[in-house]
Amino acid sequence: MRARTEILLLIACCAFLLFYGLGAFGLLGADEPRYAQVAREMLDRGDLITPTLNGKPWLEKPPLYYWQAMLTYRVGRAFLPATGVTEKCARLPGAIDAALMIAFIYFFLGRFRAGTELDAALIAAGSAGIIGFAHAASTDMPLTATFTIALLAWYAWSENQRKTDLAIFYGAIALGMLAKGPIAPALAVVIVILFAIVRRDSKLLLRTFWLPGIALFLAVALPWYILVQLRNPDFFRVFILEHNLARFSTNVYHHPQPFWFYLPVFLLAAMPWTLWLILAIAERLRLIWREKREAFSSPDDSWVLFLLLWMIVPILFFSLSQSKLPGYILPGVPAAALLIAEHLADRRERQPRVPFRLAVLHAILCGGLIFAALSAARIAYTHRLTMTPETLFTAAISLALTIGIAATLIMPSRPQMLRQVTILSIILSVATVIRFAAPAIDATQSSRPIAATIENFSREPVPVALYHVGRTTQYGLDFYLDRATQTYENNEIPSQPHLLVAAANTGTEFATLIPGRKVSYLTSLPARKLELYWIGVK
């Protein structure tokens, strides 16, 4: 009965936190619409091998996300033929992958760390990083899910020596390689080697290199790489040399950040559990300093060591990279959730009640999360937080909730309410963003409203050109209009009548590029600082 209750609670939380609001706002940034469009073109062409964008090979990423999105598009078209390719369908793979990962965490810990499984699963599902990327059409969540399943399966095998678990490890790592490339097996190898070194167990490495498992890995991961190379001779250069080695060693893609960039990013990804993550790490470091190698002598200590390596290796590895994006260290977030759950279980055995100081600090984090959610709409429009009556009212609501959370945690009659009040604050924050901030995010960050405005002026698929418009808008319009846009700056000026999306107040500039052609102003999009024109013929 308890297990059924826990599973129902977990299903309800995951259904809301991971799936609610997938289509509340349009696709964001450059990557979401680009990945979504690649999947649509592969589906329309019936091609499972070569990713294409605007009809040309686009070889930056492996196909796992595209295959998943193709499936959700096909199902969407089966039920809603006119709107089968939507934001919901494009983002559904990430949500499904996250849910499968949470389920694997729950059942794995039920076998090996009984008593921590519900906490760990809910903490993982309620971490800001997991929620955010579960709502994204990207390759980060497929990689994180497969990587998590692989490492948990490997640790299970190291405990019980069941070949089934080792086979799951090799199969899941192969899927990770299909999700984002060689980074999945590379990180796994480093973590396993470091774990064996610290444990002084070289035989563990030898037993890990299991020939049937290696054959399974090659059988799952290798066929696509061989076929795509045969069809696209540039694949090795583009994917391996440019988008793996060059991306790591140089700033060729213009994502420079300082070395310490991932420390605050990781702490934010763990919100609102960040305090407990810091405490868990600090406690373990004190133990290591005091007991040295004896700190990893027991099975419990080995589990914590494994989680620390799993969490730290991606952070250190990508900190060395010259190109940094927040999603790169997402594979380490599940390890943080498991470490927090282990720390809380150990703390409850020693001290059921939450100390006053920790209760207040945790309540402040939860209240800050709610404040950020309530302020998200205003920040989306103004790009800053200003001191207005609305801001003060938002702060008052957040303060009241902070006091309520702190009071609940320190009540003598409710010593174990930490999980409940935290999950409640997370649910309130997600609901607030989806319900109140989504329209502002859509208007200011997505190309969906721009495409809708274009279609209001022209139902026919006329050419669309851009002038001084960023690539995020360009990729978004390519997806929503389902056709390639052209850019005046690249001398791509359609000879036939067309619609032009231009940066505000640039009419006199682009007019010099089309002398003698009739220019008709149509409307403006103030939230994006854009204007729409109809360009006729000479």
Q: Considering the chain, what is the average pLDDT of its residues?
A: 89
Residue 341 is encoded by which pair of tokens?
């759950």
Same domain, 125 and 153: yes
Same domain, 400 and 508: no
Number of H helices, E strands in the chain: 24, 7
Same domain, 185 and 230: yes
Measured distance CA(22)–CA(254) in Å, rounded = 29
Exposure string over 342-356, b if 16+ CB within 10 A, otherwise e? bbbeebbeeeebbee
Same domain, 482 and 343: no
Cα–Cα distances (Å) from 357 to 135, 353, 361, 395, 485, in that order, read: 34, 12, 6, 21, 56
- Amino acid at the residue 30: A
Same domain, 424 and 468: no
Measured distance CA(43)–CA(487) in Å, rounded = 26
Q: How big is the CA angle at 328 (ends 325 and 331), to the nearest 5 degrees?
A: 155
Q: What is the pLDDT of residue 112?
A: 86
Same domain, 128 and 100: yes
Same domain, 237 and 151: yes
Q: What is the domain extent for residue 412?
A: 356-445
Domain count, the chain: 3
pLDDT digits over 263-303, tens only? Answer: 999 999 999 999 999 999 998 888 877 766 665 666 667 88
Q: What is the pLDDT of residue 65?
A: 96
**What is the value of pTM for the model shown?**
0.92
Q: What is the pLDDT of residue 355?
A: 85
Same domain, 266 and 402: no
Same domain, 286 and 238: yes
pLDDT digits over 363-412, tens only? Answer: 999 999 999 999 888 888 887 777 788 888 888 998 999 999 888 888 86
Measured distance CA(172)–CA(97) in Å, rounded = 12
Report, as an integer, the average pLDDT of 438-464: 90
Measured distance CA(97)–CA(191) in Å, rounded = 22
Q: How big is the CA angle at 42 (ends 47 and 452), to the nearest 5 degrees?
A: 160
Measured distance CA(11)–CA(16) in Å, rounded = 9
Q: Are 475 and 484 in contact (CB under 8 A)?
A: no
Same domain, 230 and 262: yes
Q: Are 145 and 97 in contact (CB under 8 A)?
A: yes
Q: Which long-range contacts (CB under 8 A, 24 or more apart) does 390-396 make?
A: 395/371
Same domain, 147 and 187: yes
Same domain, 166 and 199: yes
Q: Which of 395, 430, 445 corresponds to the end of one domain? A: 445
Q: Is the pLDDT of residue 415 over 60?
A: no
Report, as an integer, the average pLDDT of 352-357: 82
Q: What is the pLDDT of residue 254?
A: 54
- CA neighbor of 72 nearest in space, from 56, 55, 89, 54: 89
Residue 204 is encoded by which pair of tokens?
């563990």
Q: Which of 334, 350, 366 corresponds to the end of one domain? A: 350
Q: Which of 428, 445, 462 corresponds to the end of one domain? A: 445
